[in-house]
Amino acid sequence: MKKRLFIGSSSEELELAHAAKLLLEQDFDVTIWNDTVWDSAVFRINQNFLSDLLKASLKFDFGILIGSKDDKVEYRGTSALQPRDNILFELGLFLGRLGPNKCAFLIEKDIKVLSDVQGITLARFDKSKPAEFNQAVIRIRDAFNSSSNNDINFFPSATLAAVYFENLVAPTCKFLIKNKGYKLNGIQYEKFKLKIIIPDKIVVDPNIAFEKIKSKLSTTKIDIDYSGRPRSIHHETIIKDNIIEFIDFPTIITGINFAISNLLPSEFNDLTSDYNLIVERELEKFILTLKQLLLRNNFDEDVEIIREGTFNKNGANV
């Protein structure tokens, strides 16, 4: 799946935005702010501008803002040309949402840059030299490609994945490694696997979804006592090919719905396609963050992450 990239520009510079899109769309799913007025536009007619901006910042993985000499300003007694104020505002919003590695400022030469944005990716160009503009866009493309999956951000999903990892995944893996597996009904199973099933969509009560999944398996409920925890960790287990498998369904993901519904209440109430897209992206970020934490802690061989649809299709083999 291609990463989604947003290009913002003043209306005067849409030609540049489209030129950048042509160079980027092989690597990314690119949207220009007014690509089409009714269907794919981020900022649609009759919708609140700020609400749409907030929604856009959750829908995209990367952002590029094009800064051109649109407005004349007085600065300490001298005149200068700078980008439109809304471009600088959008740049700040996307920086806060996406982080400095996933946001770039494609800016004309000779424009004074605020000291606050000098730490992000800056690519300067001369509008009279198309080849120079293309090179600037390609530098941004390469920077985005090299940083696409290297960091954990603080979207709701990433934070929830970290909490889930620290409170269930890590203690379970440490217990099983320390005890060389698990003893069940008098049999010591040295081979083990923690299987985490991620739902295809977030429902109000995820426990119901988990019960449906459990109904497809004949499981045994076990408890793991782990030092430092006030309560035991509960797991459903099955034995397959002399391997004990621990099945878990992270109900903590309901926090994604809670966070987004508070940020975008109107979208939540209407369950729009935009809302569903944002939720799906958050589920993907939850999985990505969890995988990164597994790799960092050397648990990746002990844990398997499975989407619910895959389970329903191949339930007997999970």
pLDDT, one tens digit per residue, over 264-282 is 666 655 667 777 888 888 8
34 forms bridges with which residues in the sheet? none
What pLDDT does 40 receive? 43
Residue carrying the six token digits 């909490």: 163
Pick the more confident residue, 150 or 296: 296
Helix (H, G, I), strand (E, B) or coil at 58: helix
What pLDDT does 282 receive? 86
Burial 125-157 (b: 16+ CB within 10 A, else e): beeeeeeebeebbebbbebbeeeeeeebeebbb
> What is the Cα–Cα distance from 20 to 41, expressed in whole angstroms?
17
What pLDDT does 93 receive? 74
Percent of the chain at pLDDT > 90 equals 29
What pLDDT does 153 receive? 55
- The reported pTM is 0.65
What would the mean pLDDT of 305-313 be, rounded to a whole number?
79
- Give per-residue pLDDT as tens, 167-218: 999 999 999 999 999 999 999 999 999 999 998 877 767 777 778 777 777 8
Question: For residue 253, which phi and psi values (nearest 5 degrees)?
Answer: -65, -15
Pick the more confident residue, 248 or 267: 248
Helix (H, G, I), strand (E, B) or coil at 1: coil
Residue 43 reports pLDDT greater than 90: no
Domains and CATH numbers, the chain: 3-147 (3.40.50.450), 156-317 (no CATH)
Q: What is the mean pLDDT of the chain?
A: 79
Sequence-separated (6 or more) residues with CB below 8 Å from residue 213: 197, 247, 249, 308, 311
What pLDDT does 316 receive? 43
> What is the Cα–Cα distance from 70 to 60, expressed in whole angstroms?
26
Residue 230 reports pLDDT greater than 70: no
The helix or strand, by DSSP H or E, that contains position 312, with its residue range, turns out to be helix 308-313
Query: What number of helices (H) and strands (E) belong to the chain?
Result: 11, 14
Residue 95 reports pLDDT greater than 60: yes
Pick the more confident residue, 206 or 83: 206
